[in-house]
A and B are shown apart, each in its own frame.
Chain A
Amino acid sequence: MANQLRTVQLPEDLCVQAESWLKGRFDSLEGLLSFLLAEIVKDDGAKLDQHEEEIVQQRLRDLGYI
């Protein structure tokens, strides 16, 4: 699925500002946005919290309290 692409719409002036900033750092605006989004979704804290809650719930079940 990695090669399936989606089109998003962004304000033109913001894109121009970002393109000016990304010079030397990223090849394109798409590269910058993909990098940022990948970094942001990498933090799976909520999923880990849920998994850890399930572990405690299972422990309580094993002890006969749920």
Chain B
Amino acid sequence: MKRRSLILVTVDCLRADHVGFQGYACPVTPFLDSVAKNSVVVSDAVVAGAPTYFSFPAIMASRYPLGLGREILGIAPDELTLATALQEAGFATAAFLAGNPYLSPRFGYDQGFDEFHDFLDSDSSGVTTAPLQRSSPLSGVNRGLEAIARRTRLTATAYDELYFRYCQWISSREDVSLDQLRRYPAADVLIGKACSWLNGLRDQPFFLWIHLMDPHHPYYPPQEALSSLGILNLSAKRARFLNSSWNRGDIGPGRLQRYKAEIISLYDAGVHWADKQLARLVAALQQLQRWDDTAFVVTADHGEEFLEHGDRYHSPTSLPEQLIHVPLLVRAPGLSGGTTLSGPFSLIHLAPTLLEAIGAEVPHSFQGRSHWGQLSAGKLPSEPAIAECAEEGTRTRLMTVRDGNFKLVIRFRDQTDTLYDLKNDPGERSPLSDAVQKNERVQLLQIARRHLRESREGRDASSGVRARLREIRRSLDRRPTQSAALETVEHG
């Protein structure tokens, strides 16, 4: 029997409710929607952590993000991953990642890959960063004005508003394109490179990981993606104004609301571009006659917030559904298509499930278990999913335990737990009191307690130390003084 290959596509910031195959009404993912007809869609996939650096340890190494300690991000040296397992099994392995610094060799993500391209240097990414503005005599005047304005809240607000408008006026005089404004290589660049790599393979089974950043802020999709969605009146200048406005820290959600619809249009166009390019990738596989024996999986590391709870982007200040609920589409040989499975599925189980799907051995270190049998049978077990992250500053854990209907959010910083009835309150607007659904709260608390115990007892101290030493070594090599090295380790 011909050995199966695997393509894992992760799309940064892709929310579950912004893809057609999970119910989004706007037609941003026509290609993936067509693939979904021959795939299993897991409608309730939940990341094990957010953002990127707390999510990928689970996706690649099937390990909860705080499993090695609070100071450690990424994969530990020698930690077994999806890539190392497949490389060991004789697969050709390659990763094409669209310039997310948290997915670089610094954090161990190159382990197990024969070819690893993180597109972090501008030569390979095709991204041209605009040169920094030179200091002018006006800069000194501005600094003086700002110092005076900061003396009262009213004048500070007026200064911020005027300064923002001045910056917008300056930048509006510049003629730029969306391509020039983009910070990350667009999907077409990555897919082009990935296709070249696939072309060079013979009959060897392969593992290809593609990480796309098209929906990531700042939101600058290709003009073609906007046009394809029928958005014809959104210029590069307008996109720059929208992104600048959306990024303002000095105005509240009330004022930001006015930009939300257009910001979502830009985000959707990023998703649409990723969809279009994935169509190219699949066409290339079909041409190479590799599509039929390849498992093709699309998911995300986390979602994105658009003021639903007052926040933007995806910082882990809370773990609402907009951040932890992601799409998951699995198309694989032998899997009957057109099925949508409900019930929470943690991405901690993704790597072992995919390894079983392609007939490879699952490393013992993986904390998740293969659900391939259940996916094939069309029924997921009723099993709560846990997502966690460490809060900035205190490094205390923020975690959620989520079953089919209820979600418990535990914030250890202030020792609170909040229960939501997702079935009747999907927007997480009305926390339930202790008196209501007490059994559900207790059940989810017990699962949290078990997770914390397993996290403590199952800690791999040597992996943690190796990961810590890698970071220390890096900081010492970069900054050859002890105090500078300490500073780098503490703030890096």
Contacts and interface: CB of A to CB of B under 8 A. Distances in A.
Interface of A: 24-26, 31, 35-36, 39-40, 42-46, 48-50, 52-53, 55-57, 59-60, 63, 65
Interface residues of B, number: 38
Contacts, number: 78
B88 interface: no
B68 interface: yes
Given A39-B489, A56-B445, A25 B452 contact: no
Contacts of A26: 482
Contacts of B448: 56
B459 A63 contact: no
A14 B468 CA distance: 20
Interface of B: 66, 68-72, 395-397, 410, 412, 415, 417, 434, 438, 441-442, 445-446, 448-449, 452-453, 455-456, 459, 464-465, 468-469, 472, 476, 480-482, 485-486, 489
A24 B480 contact: yes
Contacts of A40: 465, 468-469
Contacts of B445: 56, 59-60, 63, 65
Query: Which 8 A-B pairs give the minimum distances between C-beta atoms?
Result: A45-B69, A49-B456, A53-B452, A43-B69, A56-B449, A43-B71, A45-B70, A65-B442
A54 B95 CA distance: 41
Contacts of B410: 56
Given A40-B469, A59-B417, 12 more contacts: A31-B482, A45-B70, A46-B456, A49-B397, A49-B455, A50-B456, A52-B396, A56-B448, A56-B452, A59-B415, A59-B445, A63-B438
Q: Classify the interface of chain A: helix, strand, loop or mixed.
A: helix
Contacts of B434: 63
A38 to B, nearest CB: 9
Contacts of A24: 480
16 contacts: A25-B476, A35-B486, A39-B472, A40-B465, A43-B72, A45-B69, A48-B70, A48-B396, A48-B397, A49-B66, A52-B396, A52-B412, A53-B449, A55-B412, A56-B410, A59-B445
